[in-house]
Amino acid sequence: GAVVSQHPSWVICKSGTSVKIECRSLDFQATTMFWYRQFPKQSLMLMATSNEGSKATYEQGVEKDKFLINHASLTLSTLTVTSAHPEDSSFYICSARDWEISNPEAFFGQGTRLTVV
């Protein structure tokens, strides 16, 4: 199957700093990527839909100025957590779908464990 690479796999940062997480589709083009947040022992919560060449679509309750999404190419989307605080500590996962084929399977990155201290 297709591969989605997410980097870094874990990061520790100080309060007030910004952190960038990258999500790459390695062997297919992804016009749309999705960013999820997962709290301990809970399901994935969709944060936003990242659209190549246009603004991201954020889910209700997600601060777009806090979680900046850029989808500058067909294979790369980035999520920047700005002015991070301890409550932003979480597991962030991206996914992408290969729209060129009829297979609607979504492929997921490895996830990024963010810890804000």
Partner 1 sequence: AQSVAQPEDQVNVAEGNPLTVKCTYSVSGNPYLFWYVQYPNRGLQFLLKYITGDNLVKGSYGFEAEFNKSQTSFHLKKPSALVSDSALYFCAAYSGAGSYQLTFGKGTKLSVIP
Where does this chain bind partner 1 (CB under 8 A)? 1, 4, 6, 9-10, 32, 34, 41-44, 46, 49, 91, 93, 95, 97, 102-111, 113
Contact indicator for 8, 114 with CB cutoff of 8 Å: no
CB of 16 to partner 1, least distance (A): 25
Nearer residue to partner 1 within complex by CB, 83 or 103: 103
Nearer residue to partner 1 within complex by CB, 1 or 61: 1
Question: Of 108, 81, 113, whose CA–CA distance to 9 is shortest?
Answer: 113
Nearer residue to partner 1 within complex by CB, 81 or 109: 109
